[in-house]
Amino acid sequence: MSGIAWIPLICVTLLVIGTIGLGFYVQRSVRSTSDLYVASRAVGVSMNSAAISGEYLSAASFMGVAGMVMKYGYDVLWYPALYAAGYLFLLLFIAGPLRRFGAYTIPDFAEGRFDSPAFRKIAVAFVLVIGLFYTMPQMKGAGVALVNILHTPYWVGVILVGTVITFNVALGGMKGITFVQAFQYWVKMFAISLPIFILFSVVGGYAGQMQKIDNGADAGRALPTFKEDTTVIYKPAAPANEIIFPAGVTATFVNGAEVAVATAGRGAAAGGSLPAAGLITGLPDRKVTREVGGQSLTLYCFAAGSSFTVSGPVETDLTGADGKPRRVPVKLTVFPATGQEYVQIAYGKGEIVPNAPTDKAWLEPFGPFTNKYGHPLLYTYSLIIAIICGTAGLPHILVRFYTNPDGRAAKRTAFWVIILLGCFYFFPPIWGVLGRNLVPHLYAVTGGAFSTDAVVLMLPRLLNDKLPYLGDLLSGITSAGAFAGFMTTFSGLLVSITGALAHDIYGNMLNPQASPDQRLKAFRIAAVMGGLTAMALGTLVENFDINMMVGWAFAIAAASYFPLLIVSVWWRGTSATGAAVGMLGGGITALAAIVSVMLADKKVIPALAAFYAQHPVLRSLAEQPAIWAVPLSLSLIFIISFMTPGSVPKDAGCKMLVLHAPEELGLRDEYIKEGSGQISVSVR
């Protein structure tokens, strides 16, 4: 492992110092709760559109999209396309009415729309759940970035970035982070685009890189190979220690290992009954039986320096869609040998890289991402619903529209956000293509800091061989962009979480008579509490894909907040009981499904992992729950509302008028009075 990457470190340090400096500068003008929560509702369209774009373009956008395109292929283009498309839905149906209602937070809207303090508690719970889920991929990005720059342990990046952003939010709240987020959108735009053009001038353009993949070799079965001799470190935690090998790979266990051998595939259909001796050449005689995650596994004990070759299976008695015998790769689950902390495997130059999809699978729709459980159409449609509806239900994004002066400005802001996001998302897929051709060794690790999620940080360094220091400089730029990605998004998330804790829980439930000074103090204490919780969770998700975790946050938002907002904004007959039951029913079931997948993948509950392996349809529905959770939530809202007309607010018509009538008519007073915990909508 090389030493400290000094140039990237300098770039990131300058960005962090600038961020802290802006926090101190803006903090001097923070005088009220309105400054902390909604920046005094005085943010213009150009500033707010850049700030929202900066907040939305998270680690998932800067690092995760490129990493997933490299890992799975163009099957993953749904992510960037839908991230931008979700804003169109938000523009058309939600942004303007929400701003006209004039709250500080989405729980404010929930209570004010239905005159139900109990509803605020439900809404607050989902703000915290969605916000904390969304902070986990930001923390993963921070850990990965710092590992690549300083080679520190993963958790160091999580703690460092979490501390800086918590400090900034506690100082300046929404007013403080608005300026930072707007500035950092342009940092990210610069960092994702400039290195691409320089890379093209040295390694060849996009068309040439695509031609290397789409060359028809071996009927599309070609696989990437190592460009040089490479040693890869595998951690003992699932799923990072599971490696998928095609036939013909030869490698060496540098420091020994204990290895479980099976065939890879979907559920019982993978052909796992084939004997290990038919899969690996070089199996040692010594083996042990151990309890791993509640399962009894036979582990082969490889000595340090021992080599092995994946010899099969080339074909099995299973058949594919074309009726021909299907090739099934081999899965090795590796554990450190006695006395060792990690497993190190050495691969020779020209060896096939494990875990990589074939060219054909990488290029075609319904590839290794959506087809991994055998039901690609189901998986794809669920992903579409999750991202589009989830974008319209993210509390930390929705609250930014309250910073606009009026509903018209909110709609103009949403329009420009679509333009800014579209410009950005042009570039990450290009990084994924270059990564497959130029840094294929990133496929070898299925999770952690040196997986495909690091492609935008690792790829520029290739230029050092031809143009000394240029690669490090470009890597410094992309590292700064990555830091800007998770710092801006984490800032917005932390403001949202802090608002739920300080404004909704403390200011409206625990101490409604709190003075303005008490509310300011509560905000800052809540920021520290939220930041510490986010850092703790971030240390647990090193082995999950960044974009996958973001998709889960979107799915929970789509099943909880989106149905509440779209129905209560547009249907007068929505009852408080119906909205609450629908939000709880969809949100809790989606959350439970996603958590079950995380526990299964981490092997925390082995029986659950085995169950999902045997039932790929249920695994697809649990990993991408939006396709059933969103209809469930909407159905519950409508059915329960029809059954409980008595809980429809008496002044629902007046509130619908406030939501949809132009502000020029002057139909309402301000929703929340400065320094007051009281909630009211006054209709003249």
- Using alpha carbons only, what angle is made at residue 190 by residues 37 and 154, rounded to the nearest 5 degrees? 70
Residue 681 reports pLDDT greater than 50: no
Q: What is the pLDDT of residue 421?
A: 87
Mean pLDDT calculated for residue range 142-160: 82
Classify residue 672 as left (phi > 0), alpha (psi -120 to 50) or beta.
Answer: beta
Can you tell me the distance from the alpha carbon of 661 to that of 407, in angstroms, rounded to the nearest whole number?
10
Mean pLDDT calculated for residue range 516-531: 84
Q: What is the pLDDT of residue 400?
A: 66
Residue with more model confidence, 667 or 453: 453
Confidence category of residue 316, pLDDT binned at 50, 70, 90: very low
Residue 28 reports pLDDT greater than 90: no
Can you tell me the distance from the alpha carbon of 653 to that of 664, in angstroms, rounded to the nearest whole number?
19
Cα→Cα distances 480→67, 194, 418, 544, 572, Å: 17, 13, 24, 22, 47
Least confident stretch, 42-56, 562-576, 623-637: 42-56
Residue type, 591: L
Residue type, 232: V
Can you tell me the distance from the alpha carbon of 226 to that of 24, in angstroms, rounded to the nearest whole number?
48
What six digits make up the tokens of 168?
């900034």
Tell me the torsion sign for CA atoms 364, 370, 372, 374: negative
Q: What is the pLDDT of residue 210?
A: 85
Backbone angles phi, psi at 330, to 5 degrees: -110, 135
Can you tell me the distance from the alpha carbon of 566 to that of 284, in angstroms, rounded to the nearest whole number?
61
Strand-pairing partners, residue 298, are 289
Confidence category of residue 677, pLDDT binned at 50, 70, 90: very low
The alpha carbon of residue 604 and the mean position of all alpha carbons in its chain are separated, in whole angstroms, by 21
List the strands of the sheet with 242-245, edge to edge: 242-245, 330-335, 257-263, 295-302, 287-292
Mean pLDDT calculated for residue range 399-417: 72
Q: What is the pLDDT of residue 586?
A: 94
Choose the most confident range, by mean pLDDT, from 324-328, 483-487, 499-503, 549-553: 549-553
- Using alpha carbons only, what angle is made at residue 95 by residues 496 and 569, rounded to the nearest 5 degrees? 95
Backbone angles phi, psi at 50, to 5 degrees: -70, -40
Can you tell me the distance from the alpha carbon of 680 to that of 684, in angstroms, rounded to the nearest whole number?
13
Query: Mean pLDDT for the chain?
Result: 80
Can you tell me the distance from the alpha carbon of 533 to that of 538, in angstroms, rounded to the nearest whole number?
9
What is the DSSP code (8-state) at residue 301? Answer: E
Residues near 635 by beta carbon (within 8 Å), at least 6 away in sequence: 582
Percent of the chain at pLDDT > 90 equals 17
Q: What is the pLDDT of residue 92?
A: 78
What is the DSSP code (8-state) at residue 366? Answer: S
Q: Tell me: cis bond preceding 239? Omega within 30 of 0 counts.
A: yes
Superfamily of the domain at 6-200+367-665: Sodium/glucose cotransporter (1.20.1730.10)
Residue type, 561: Y
Q: Where in the chain is the domain with CATH 1.20.1730.10?
A: 6-200+367-665
Q: What is the pLDDT of residue 634?
A: 95
Can you tell me the distance from the alpha carbon of 171 to that of 28, in angstroms, rounded to the nearest whole number?
9
Confidence category of residue 313, pLDDT binned at 50, 70, 90: low
Least confident stretch, 18-27, 284-293, 490-499, 597-606: 18-27
Residue with more model confidence, 199 or 150: 199
Q: What is the pLDDT of residues 118-132, one digit of tens each?
A: 888 888 888 888 888
Residue 667 reports pLDDT greater than 80: no
